[in-house]
């Protein structure tokens, strides 16, 4: 299975590409914004494609024409303004969903935020509310499609080394999770079709990732 990783140069995306390239049944196509970002991916044998997520749907669809699945890991980051949040986390996500449909790619995995409910928008600090709102509407757009989607809601992201153990359910108590483990969860979802049509939260736990995903 060839997987287009949107946001491949991000912290989760980079680890995901590495995991895909070391998996016998999976391979990565890294979607990056600048050609100078390609060297790290080329060193591990990953194909790259340069596409600006703020560009046209057709450009994303062209990048997806030869893949079997798309994973959206892109994010505007905590230090950008509301404009970038809208353009990347909402508009970029929606355009990628529409590009998947144009390219005939049915499998789509979305990395969302821990809680994107209406209540979460209303209770979020003013600086964080636009991000939650963007994720809320991007998730809703995906749910309304006929794509074989999975929506993953990770807890607070850390750069700690992954433990390979998580807690996963429709609702889990708020907690943290290493980005490395989020990347491993994505791989487990790609390998398990029972995750199609499912949406769940993940935090660090005591259950091996594959077992936790299989039990959803």
Which residues are part of the catalytic machinery?
131
Q: Which of 158, 206, 146 is nearest to 183 (CA)?
A: 158
CB 88 within 8 A of CB 130: no
CB 156 within 8 A of CB 176: yes
Tokens standing for residue 166? 């998580």
Q: Is 190 helix (H, G, I), strand (E, B) or coil?
A: helix
Query: Cα–Cα distances in Å, from 94 out to 87, 143, 191?
Result: 10, 11, 24
Q: Which of 137, 157, 189 is nearest to 10 (CA)?
A: 157
CA distance 200 to 171: 7
């Amino acid at each position: 299975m060839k997987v287009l990783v949107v946001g491949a140069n991000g912290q989760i995306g980079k680890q995901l590409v590495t995991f895909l390239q070391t998996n016998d049944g999976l391979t990565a196509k890294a979607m990056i914004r600048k050609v100078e970002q390609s060297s790290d991916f080329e060193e591990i044998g990953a194909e790259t494609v340069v596409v600006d997520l703020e560009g046209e749907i057709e450009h994303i669809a062209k990048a997806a024409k030869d893949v079997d699945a798309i994973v959206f890991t892109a994010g505007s980051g905590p230090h950008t303004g509301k404009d970038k949040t809208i353009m990347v986390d909402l508009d970029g996500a929606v355009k990628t969903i529409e590009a998947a449909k144009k390219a005939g790619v049915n499998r789509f995995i979305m990395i969302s935020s821990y809680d994107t409910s209406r209540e979460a928008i209303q209770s979020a600090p003013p600086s964080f509310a636009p991000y939650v709102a963007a994720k809320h509407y991007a998730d809703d757009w995906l749910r309304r499609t006929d794509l074989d989607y999975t929506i993953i809601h990770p807890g607070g992201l850390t750069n700690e080394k992954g433990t390979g153990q998580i807690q996963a359910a429709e609702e889990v108590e708020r907690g943290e999770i290493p980005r490395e483990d989020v990347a491993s969860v994505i791989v487990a979802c790609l390998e398990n079709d029972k995750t199609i049509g499912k949406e769940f939260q993940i935090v660090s736990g005591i259950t091996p990732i594959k077992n936790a995903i299989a039990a959803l």
